Amino acid sequence: MSMYPSHKVQRLLLSLLAVLLLAATVALIVQNWHTGVSVQWFSWTEQSISLGSLMGLASLMLGGAMLLMMWVRLLSLGQAYQKTSRELERQDVSREEAVEKVKVLESKIQTLETALSQALKLSH
């Protein structure tokens, strides 16, 4: 028995965690929508940005980064799948070639056996 939960349980727990984090983020944004803050970015300074909109922007940026990471992971999984698929096709072709070679050899053996039995009949 594995000490880790099954994939279904893991998916359920991660989905629940995602919903809770989303609810907490939305609650923070709504509660702080009218709270003004000053923001400085290198030499640019803005004195009256709402904290809620700032948190919303940060959440969107984080979500976009996570989406990009998942997309890259899916692409790498797709490439691994294609590589495995090609390898399986090569193995299948090799197996088919081996089967054909066996059939040809069996046919040659049958021909030699027939020729040998005819030669033995002629020598008696």
CA distances for 96 relative to 101, 105, 118, angstroms = 9, 14, 33
| Residue 13: partners with Cβ closer than 8 Å, 6 or more residues away | 5
**Residue 2 scores a pLDDT above 70:** no
**Residue 32 scores a pLDDT above 80:** no
**Residue 1 scores a pLDDT above 60:** no
51 phi and psi, to 5 degrees?
-65, -35
Q: Give the position of tokens 């290198």.
A: 42
32 phi and psi, to 5 degrees?
-110, 20
Percent of the chain whose pLDDT exceeds 90:
22
Q: Would you state the pLDDT for residue 104? A: 94
Q: What is the pTM of this model?
A: 0.49
pLDDT tens, position by position, 53-81? 878 888 888 888 888 888 888 888 888 89
pLDDT tens, position by position, 101-120? 999 999 999 999 999 999 88
**Residue 30 scores a pLDDT above 90:** no
